[in-house]
Structure 1
Amino acid sequence: MAEPFKNLINADVVRQAGQHLGQALQATLPDDFHHAADVLEASFKSVTHVEDPDKELGLLRTDDTGLADWLERHASRTLIKQGHGRTLTLWGLGTAFDGNVRWQVSPKRIAIGESVALNLALASTSASTQALEIDYTVHHARAQGGASAKTFKGWRMSLAPGETLSLAKLHSMRPVTTRRYHPGEHQIDLRINGQIVAQAGFKLTA
């Protein structure tokens, strides 16, 4: 087993997560890195849902190897998407975006199975380079009313002083085995470094 894996398995983050995590990591490393990281993330979820996330974050960054850094970033995905302040600060994302945002979702009406286009224009007004973690949260209409929110990864980048940038992607509303869609209004929040900076929406039809 490679030394970085030994260091990770012996780290406090694994011991705090519980013996079951250590066994899972031992069983999967070094053959399946992604699965190991998912196990690590699941462990963080199980602990931070019942305890203070700040306590768990104190165990991060205990190994300065590139592999450990990747695993820690992978395991931090949920807290980053939730906009957890200390997690964002830990990864250099604790500062609000300094600039102008234009966020568009089109078309305004689609049928289940189709896609909406997400278009983002950024213009920095900062005097320094900004590290940006850009996510978006879709508020899916529920069959019984109300909405269910799910956050998706968007872009990760650096924006130079005065720089302008246009970004675009498609978001599919095609049903999959793990997600069903229902007709109704859908709102999409744009999040930059954990903060909601713009909102737009569309109507989904049967």
Structure 2
Amino acid sequence: MVAGTQSETTRTPYKLWFDAALVDELATLLGDAHQDFDQALFRREATHGLDTLEFKDRTLHIADAMALAMPWPTAERMQTLIAALPPELPDEEGVTEKGYRFWPFGEFIARQGLDDVDASFEAMVELTKRFTSEFAIRPFLAADLHGALDRLEALVDHPNLHVRRWVSEGTRTRLPWAKGVPGLKKAQPRRLRLLEALRYDPERYVQRSVANHLQDIVKDDLPTGLDTLERWATDGESNSSAGDLLWVVRHAARGQLKAGHPRALRIFGFEPGVVGIGQFTLSHDELRAGDTLTLALTLTNPTDRSLDVRVDYALSGPTKSGRAFSKVFRWSDLELKPGQSQTLETTHSFAHRSTRKVYTGLHRLEARVNGEPSPGREVWLEGLEGNDPHALKNIR
């Protein structure tokens, strides 16, 4: 998915970016790019009814107005888009807020470009250097999956990091906001070939996409995903020039690690059922919204060898609807020497957040050590009123 730059507290609703002022800006850019672009028609059609639409429909509405204003062959249209683009993004940047103004360009390519794939791919590559074409590529994958994958495979060594990232991001099966592509899951060997070519990429921006794509494969096909994680982890450990490959593997495995999947844990040397789990305590048994809870856990290595240890904690409690939630949080990674005991502490804030509110009721916490749960502890929390403060019983 595209990477934005806005903070949670200052975020402007996406749909408000696509307003009459943006239409006017795009009209000028496209008019400067091609003397026959009908700016007046574009402004009129693009702004008509725009304020009544939500985000996605606004981008489509503007893209359709672009099509009316340049009734030319596809190749000429695509060259007009390219000529209207700003300078390329610096290598170290993701998509900025100003980049989002070109979202309608991607929609235009997706809706108007299938009859000239060469011209459209050229436009998508250039758009990717300034914004993203991860959504625009989806209709091309749907129309000719292996033909589109062939074209993307030719770009794995492209000098522009945004283009290399696009090769991975645009072919994800679980790309947020994107339409599904028939046959994409079954084309997993082709997609893995793309990831194999990108796995040693030096840029974290590309690495993150490769990891997220591999995580999609883990979710779609767990045995193949775990086989790939294990093979890449072995390659990363044995190859001193592998760079950040182990970071890619760990990031791709994060869901399975949090879930305590035994094989995923063993890939990283976390042996389930070996570490001694001692006392698990909470600093309070009653709290109010906004308070902070301290968790403490004692661990022991009963063996005569060092052990790698991953500690998470799970929190369960009521929601507004009355149903219970359960969420796993990271705590710590550590190494325990032979015979060593160690007490860990961490804190959990019960402050309200925009993405998570705190509701009155019984909450339960447990530590998870290399996937193994500790005895649970409970705390009563006073927060917002939900439908069932005892919803916890539903997940016991």
The TM-score normalised by the length of structure 2 is 0.43
Residues 44 and 17 (structure 1), Cα distance of their counterparts in 2 relative to 1, 3 Å cut: farther
Residues 116 and 88 (structure 1), Cα distance of their counterparts in 2 relative to 1, 3 Å cut: same
Contact 2:215–2:225, Cα closer than 8 Å, also in 1: no
Structure 2 residue 225 is the aligned partner of structure 1 residue 56: yes
Structure 2 residue 224 is the aligned partner of structure 1 residue 47: no
Aligned-pair distance for 1:114?
1.1
Q: Which residue of the partner structure matches residue 259 of structure 2?
A: 82
Alignment of 1:70-149 (within 5 A): 70-149=247-326
Gaps of 5+ in 2: 1-90, 92-155, 158-163, 173-187, 237-241, 384-396
Of structures 1 and 2, the one with the larger relative CO (CA 8 A, separation 6+) is 1
Letter matched to residue 285 of structure 2: K
Residues 149 and 160 (structure 1), Cα distance of their counterparts in 2 relative to 1, 3 Å cut: same
- Quote the RMSD (CA, aligned, Å): 3.1
1: CA distance, partners of 2:190 / 2:314: 28
| Number of residue-to-residue matches in the alignment | 192
Contact 1:112–1:175, Cα closer than 8 Å, also in 2: yes
Aligned-pair distance for 1:38?
4.3
Aligned-pair distance for 1:49?
3.1
Residues 165 and 94 (structure 1), Cα distance of their counterparts in 2 relative to 1, 3 Å cut: closer
2: CA distance, partners of 1:90 / 1:54: 13
SS at match of 1:58: helix
Gaps of 5+ in 1: none
SS at match of 2:244: helix
Query: Any idea what the Cα deviations from partners look like across 1:61-96, whole Å, max 9, x if unmatched?
Result: 434213111111122111101011211111111332
Aligned-pair distance for 1:16?
4.7
Q: Which has the higher helix share?
A: 2
Aligned-pair distance for 1:198?
2.5
2: CA distance, partners of 1:76 / 1:187: 26
Segment of structure 1 superposing worse, 171-180 or 123-132:
123-132
2: CA distance, partners of 1:17 / 1:189: 41
2: CA distance, partners of 1:122 / 1:88: 18
Residues 143 and 102 (structure 1), Cα distance of their counterparts in 2 relative to 1, 3 Å cut: same
Moved over 6 A (4+): 8-11
1: CA distance, partners of 2:218 / 2:291: 36
SS at match of 1:59: helix
Letter matched to residue 58 of structure 1: D
SS at match of 2:366: strand
SS at match of 1:43: helix
Letter matched to residue 338 of structure 2: P
2: CA distance, partners of 1:187 / 1:100: 18
The TM-score normalised by the length of structure 1 is 0.79
Aligned-pair distance for 1:145?
2.2
2: CA distance, partners of 1:102 / 1:128: 22
How high is the sequence identity, in percent, across the aligned residues? 23
2: CA distance, partners of 1:48 / 1:93: 19
2: CA distance, partners of 1:91 / 1:17: 27
2: CA distance, partners of 1:105 / 1:127: 31
SS at match of 2:376: strand
Q: Which residue of the partner structure matches residue 379 of structure 2?
A: 202
Residues 195 and 67 (structure 1), Cα distance of their counterparts in 2 relative to 1, 3 Å cut: same
1: CA distance, partners of 2:281 / 2:371: 19
Q: Which has the higher strand share?
A: 1
